[in-house]
Amino acid sequence: MVGVTFTLQCFLLVDLKFGKLKHQDVGQMDTYVRLYDERIKSADDNPTIGLLLCSEKSEAVVKYSVLTDQQQLFAAKYMPYLPSEAELKRELERERERIMQQLAQQ
């Protein structure tokens, strides 16, 4: 048996935002990704990925912005402090419930 390793080369642009995700943030990242792809990315590179890390993620902004259409842009929530064990458990439970609701609606 021969093992083959594939390396997927792409650029990752990360924007760290303190506060709630805004439409302007998404538009700005979309612009950065497009510029990077046009001016820096080579033909051998995969499309550039844009990652917005925000201390508060707005589901409405995520749903009604280019994030729903762009497969290269992502938004994620981060915590500007280390949560307690109880906070982590609550957050995991909330996320689990949200995912189960989404699956039930499909």
CA–CA gap between residue 84 and residue 77 (Å, rounded): 17
The answer to whether residue 34 sits within a structural domain is yes
CATH number of the domain encompassing residue 19: 3.40.1350.10
CA–CA gap between residue 64 and residue 75 (Å, rounded): 13
The answer to whether residue 104 sits within a structural domain is no
Q: Using an 8 Å Cβ cutoff, are 7 and 56 in contact?
A: no
- Residue 70 sits in which domain range? 12-80
pLDDT, mean of residues 10-34: 85
pLDDT at 40: 92
The answer to whether residue 4 sits within a structural domain is no
pLDDT at 86: 87
List phi, psi (to 5°) of 59. -65, -35
The answer to whether residue 106 sits within a structural domain is no
The answer to whether residue 2 sits within a structural domain is no
Across 2-11, 12-21, 51-60, 80-89, the highest mean pLDDT is recorded for 12-21
The answer to whether residue 91 sits within a structural domain is no
Number of domain units in the chain: 1
Q: Which amino acid is at 93?
A: E
Q: What is the pTM of this model?
A: 0.57
The answer to whether residue 43 sits within a structural domain is yes
CA–CA gap between residue 83 and residue 72 (Å, rounded): 29
pLDDT digits (tens, 9 = 90+) for 45-90: 888 888 888 877 666 565 555 555 666 666 666 666 667 888 888 8
